[in-house]
Amino acid sequence: MLSSETYVGGRVEAIECGVFRADFPERFRLDPEAYQALIDNVERTVTFSLEKEENVPIEHVTNYTEICDQIKEKLAGLRDQPNRSENPLIYHLDVGAMYPNIILTNRLQPPALINEEVCASCVYNEIDASCRRKMDWMWRGDYFPG
């Protein structure tokens, strides 16, 4: 009798996992170069988000420059003070609970992989589509002999 089955092979990476509470200050060491890269790409990121994800033309946004400036200002504050002691806003980060959701959402588990016929009819089927990820998988099951 098969008790449970799963696939082993996907992985989830976390910068730091554990329980964080807003009433306990935590020390954070940020990478200033990473924040500078984010600052350099604010306009491109906001434009992509508006036009591609939200289908809103830039011409219809009246406060585009102000929003980009506000984002840059907040990122510059993080860049300029990389060693921080703050009360985090994340209360609990449970990577174990995120794992199944990430696997299924990103179609990483073998049962979520579909055949070429279904892919051919998909609206996202393009030459550079990244929705099909090839990974090495190994079946693992717990069974009890009869």
**The pLDDT of residue 96 is above 60:** no
- pLDDT score, position 34: 94
What pLDDT is attached to residue 122?
A: 74
End-to-end CA distance of the chain: 7
Q: Do the Cβ atoms of 46 and 52 come closer than 8 Å?
A: no
SS3 26: strand
pTM of the model: 0.52
**Residues near 2 by beta carbon (within 8 Å), at least 6 away in sequence:** 141, 142, 143
What does pLDDT average to over the chain? 77
The domain ranges of the chain are: 1-9+16-24+91-146, 26-86
The secondary structure of 85-127 as a DSSP string is EE--S--EE-HHHHHHHHHHHTT-SGGG---HHHHHT-TT--T
In this prediction, residue 98 carries a pLDDT of 56
CB 107 within 8 A of CB 132: yes
pLDDT for residue 23: 79
Q: Report which of residues 43 and 8 the model is more confident about.
A: 43
pLDDT tens per residue across span 13-72: 555 555 667 778 888 899 999 999 999 999 999 999 999 888 999 999 999 999 999 999
What percentage of the chain has pLDDT greater than the value 90?
36
How many other β-carbons are positioned within 10 Å of the β-carbon of residue 113? 15
More reliable by pLDDT, 134 or 25: 25
Closest residue by Cα to residue 78 from 90, 89, 86: 86
